[in-house]
């Protein structure tokens, strides 16, 4: 039975008897779904204008799956559809436009563009414009993903270039969007029109600035990763500020940007889209890593960049954490002028339960918490960021940290560097006397003299007079009975400077000497 039915449809598709068309039309309207589909396929086989006319008349009766049977059409069908819409014959023209749009009949693009430009039927004009935008979007998307159909796209671009140049006549700026949607960054025609710096360049720059078309925004944002940004595009990229453009830029930057992309960000110097506050929380998780690179390269305020990087480590995914760590390393250690007041604030709050929670938002406190982050790379980044707030930094001859600073933030330093006693011991063995003196001060400020008393006794015997004087003057900060007893001994020492140091203490010694 099936074979017999297939033979019947084969005959109806090939016979020269035009009555076969009436039979197929009647079958389509009266039979079941399988016969309807076979009728459509058989009508397409006949491949004549009268049959195409009948198929268009059936278009509104077809189900979506039945309409797709017309997708595998001959060039002749495409030409018929194009001619049908150019005749501007009311309902049939509207159907032809719908057919061209749904079946992506690119052969009809010139007629669709012409209709969108000049049809006196507003509905037909809008339908044509929608079809043009739909088809150019797909052509451009394919080309940008390296699946170009060069001949089809070139013909579309050539016709749309005419629309760009004649914008004053037809006034349909959506056709400029269509041109930009179909274009790619390497298109010679696009580059030539932009480089000419004429009216067409101004027209396209205006649409790049204001269009909400996703494909246009993607084209604009994509220049961030290209070797050259056309001159008229640069101010647009700097000035456009909407979230759609910002997200598109981040997608093109990606979680692992190329050196070319980073160089373009450097060259732009600033982008209004990235100057809003609290962008991290407004940004989708998959775009947070590229946001870090953009922030760093656009010359954003370093405090904002650092704050955002800390937030990325606290809340972001693996890519965001990796990017944030890299950015923090590029920023280098926080200056002591920033760290010291925050450390004092934390130290004061640690002595009061009532105010302890007030420091949870302090940037230094958040970085201290990240020293225990379950990633060694992040831990190392945090230690590097806080390097200026450490015993090592205090031991440096040019350090701006004073004894009083170290003493006031001793509790905070213990949170940052649990190995600070080892650092003090290493400082006491340093070849430079100035560093050894600073190590004595550090031990006193951090309350380590009592635990290192035997070491200090040995150093006192072996080291330079300057070190002995320093030890004697800072023994006043020790609290153990043994340390106090030793200080009393030194108050009666044979050496006058040591005796004076033990009696007067560090503060008075500095005043006198």
φ/ψ bin of 463: left (φ > 0), alpha (ψ from -120 to 50), beta (otherwise) = beta
Judged by phi (left if over 0) then psi (alpha if -120 to 50, else beta), residue 62 lies in beta
What pLDDT, on the 0 to 100 scale, is given for residue 264?
96
Separation of alpha carbons 267 and 263, rounded Å: 6
List CB contacts of 308: < 8 A, sequence separation 6 or more: 279, 280, 291, 292, 295, 324
CA distances, 361 to each of 276, 351, 358, 364, 367 (Å): 20, 17, 7, 9, 10
Q: Are 112 and 83 within 8 A, CB to CB?
A: no
> What is residue 22's predicted lDDT score, i.e. its pLDDT?
73
Longest dimension (CA), the chain: 133
Give the span between the Cα atoms of 360 and 371, in whole angstroms: 15
| Structure tokens belonging to residue 28 | 């389509």
pTM: 0.83
Give all domains of the chain, ordered by start, each with its CATH number. Answer: 387-510 (1.25.40)
CA distance 183 to 432: 67
Residue 64: burial class (beta carbons within 10 Å; 0-12, 13-18, 19+): exposed
Give, to the nearest 10 degrees, the angle between helix 49-58 and helix 75-86.
70
Using DSSP's 3-state secondary structure scheme, residue 459 falls into: helix
Query: 3-state SS of 389-411?
Result: CCHHHHHCCCCCCCHHHHHHCHH
Helix (H) or strand (E) holding 64: helix 64-67
Would you state the structure tokens that stand for residue 330, as one six-digit string?
């590029």
Pair 110, 82: CB distance under 8 Å: yes
3-state helix, strand, coil in the chain (%, to 5): 75, 0, 25
If the chain, 513 residues long, is cut into consecutive pieces of 10 residues, what is the mean pLDDT of each piece?
66 70 75 78 81 84 84 78 74 86 87 90 90 95 92 94 94 96 96 90 96 98 96 97 97 96 94 89 94 89 90 92 95 92 88 65 91 94 94 91 92 90 95 94 94 94 92 91 92 84 66 43
What's the confidence (pLDDT) of residue 1?
43
List, in sequence order, the alpha helices (H) in 87-184: 91-102, 109-118, 122-144, 150-165, 167-170, 174-182
**pLDDT score for 512:** 42
- Cα 149 from chain centre: 30
CB of 260 closer than 8 Å to CB of 227: yes
- CA 467 to CA 498: how far, in whole Å? 10
Taking the C-alpha atoms of residue 430 and residue 305, their distance in angstroms, rounded to an integer, is: 37
Long-range contacts of 329-332 (CB under 8 A, 24+ apart): 329/381, 329/384, 330/296, 331/296, 331/302, 331/305, 331/306, 331/385, 332/384
CA 458 to mean position of chain CA atoms: 58
Q: CB–CB of 406/446 below 8 Å?
A: yes
């Amino acid at each position: 039975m099936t074979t017999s039915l297939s033979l019947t449809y084969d005959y109806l598709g090939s016979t020269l008897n035009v009555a076969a068309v009436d039979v197929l039309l009647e079958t389509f309207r009266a039979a079941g779904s399988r016969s309807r589909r076979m009728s459509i396929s058989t009508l397409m086989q006949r491949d004549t204008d009268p049959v195409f006319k009948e198929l268009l008349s059936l278009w509104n009766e077809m189900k979506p799956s039945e309409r797709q049977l017309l997708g595998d059409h001959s060039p002749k069908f495409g030409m018929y559809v194009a001619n049908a819409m150019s005749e501007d014959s009311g309902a049939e023209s509207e159907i032809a436009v719908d057919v061209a749009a749904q079946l992506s009949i690119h052969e009809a693009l010139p007629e669709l563009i012409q209709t969108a430009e000049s049809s006196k039927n507003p509905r037909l004009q809008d339908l044509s414009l929608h079809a043009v935008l739909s088809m150019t979007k797909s052509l451009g998307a394919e080309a940008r993903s390296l699946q170009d159909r060069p001949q089809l796209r070139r013909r579309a671009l050539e016709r749309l270039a005419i629309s760009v140049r004649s914008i004053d006549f037809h006034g349909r700026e959506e056709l400029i969007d269509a041109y930009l949607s179909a274009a790619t960054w390497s298109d010679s025609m696009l580059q030539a029109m932009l480089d000419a710096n004429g009216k067409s360049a101004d027209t396209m720059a205006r649409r790049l600035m204001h269009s909400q078309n996703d494909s246009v925004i993607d084209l604009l944002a994509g220049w961030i990763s290209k070797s050259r940004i056309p001159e008229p595009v640069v101010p647009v990229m700097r000035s456009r500020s909407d979230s759609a453009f910002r997200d598109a830029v981040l997608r093109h930057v990606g979680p692992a940007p190329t050196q070319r992309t980073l160089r373009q960000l450097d060259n732009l110097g600033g982008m209004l889209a990235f100057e809003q506050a609290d962008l991290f929380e407004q940004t989708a998780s998959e775009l947070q890593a590229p946001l870090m690179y953009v922030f760093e390269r656009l010359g954003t305020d370093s405090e904002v960049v650092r704050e955002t990087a800390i937030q990325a480590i606290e809340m972001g995914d693996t890519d965001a954490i990796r990017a944030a760590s890299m950015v923090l390393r590029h920023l280098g250690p926080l200056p002591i002028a920033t760290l010291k007041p925050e450390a004092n604030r934390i130290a004061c709050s640690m002595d009061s339960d009532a105010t302890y929670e007030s420091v949870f938002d302090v940037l230094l406190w958040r970085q201290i918490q990240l020293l225990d982050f379950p990633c060694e790379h992040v831990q190392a980044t945090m230690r590097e960021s806080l390097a200026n707030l450490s015993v090592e930094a205090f031991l440096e001859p040019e350090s701006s940290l004073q004894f009083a600073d170290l003493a006031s933030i001793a509790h905070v330093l213990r949170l940052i560097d649990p190995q600070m006693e080892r650092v003090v011991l290493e400082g006491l063995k340093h070849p430079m006397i100035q560093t050894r003196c600073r190590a004595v001060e550090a031990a006193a400020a951090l309350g380590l003299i009592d635990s290192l008393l035997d070491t200090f006794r040995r150093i006192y015997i072996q080291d330079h007079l300057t070190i002995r004087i320093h030890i004697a003057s800072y023994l006043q900060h020790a609290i153990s009975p043994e340390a106090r007893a030793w200080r009393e001994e030194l108050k009666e020492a044979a050496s006058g400077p040591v005796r004076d140091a033990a009696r007067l203490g560090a503060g008075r010694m500095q005043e006198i000497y």
